[in-house]
Amino acid sequence: MEPLKIESTKSTPFVDFDPNRKEQYINGKSYPENPTEFFRPIVDWIKEFLQNSKTEVILDLKLNYLNTSSTKVFMSLFDYLESQQKDGKEILILWHYEKGNEMAKESGEEFKEDLNLKFNIIED
């Protein structure tokens, strides 16, 4: 399995996925013009990573801004991770936000609310 590294742009976050470690990083703002095109390889990579008998993943997220489409993608991703946890995988979400960024903080709290996942909200 190959690592996945995507440099950030004005509207897309930096992605740093490596199959040789459990921590996977997404960092930046997310309002891509074509969310499906941008997120498909990311979601596919995580699915493949977990299917390759990896039992533990730490998804380290620092997303300063998510537009509605990106929010929808992360909701689906978290639902998927929740289902994987039921299947015995160990999932941990680290949701970072910068001090003062109420929008990122509140989005994290909303995500966490209905999820049955370890979801830590961290002020940087």
Partner 1 sequence: MFDEEEEALARINEILLDENLKSSEHYESIKQFADQFYKILRQTKKLVRISDNQQKIINENNEKLTQLTEDLSREQVLSQKLLLNILPAKVAEELKMMGQARPVLFKSATVLFTDFKGFTKSSELLTPNELISELDQYFTFFDEAISLFRLEKLKTIGDSYMCAGGIPIQTKTHAVDCTLAALHFQKFMKTQSESKKGTGREAWEIRLGIHTGPVIAGVVGKKKFAYDIWGDTVNIASRMESSGEPGRVNISKDTYESIKDFFDCTSRGQIEAKNKGSIDMFFVDKVKEDLLDESGKINDKFEFLYNQIKETEATETKPFVERRKNLPDNRDQPTERRNNLFKYLSI
**Alpha-carbon span 37 to 42, nearest angstrom:** 10
Rule CB under 8 A: choose which of 106, 120, 122, 123 binds partner 1.
Answer: 106
Nearer to partner 1, 37 or 113 (CB): 113
* Shortest distance (Å) from residue 14 CB to partner 1: 21
**Alpha-carbon span 53 to 55, nearest angstrom:** 6
* Shortest distance (Å) from residue 28 CB to partner 1: 17
Binding status of residue 123 toward partner 1 by CB under 8 A: no
DSSP 8-state code for residue 71? H
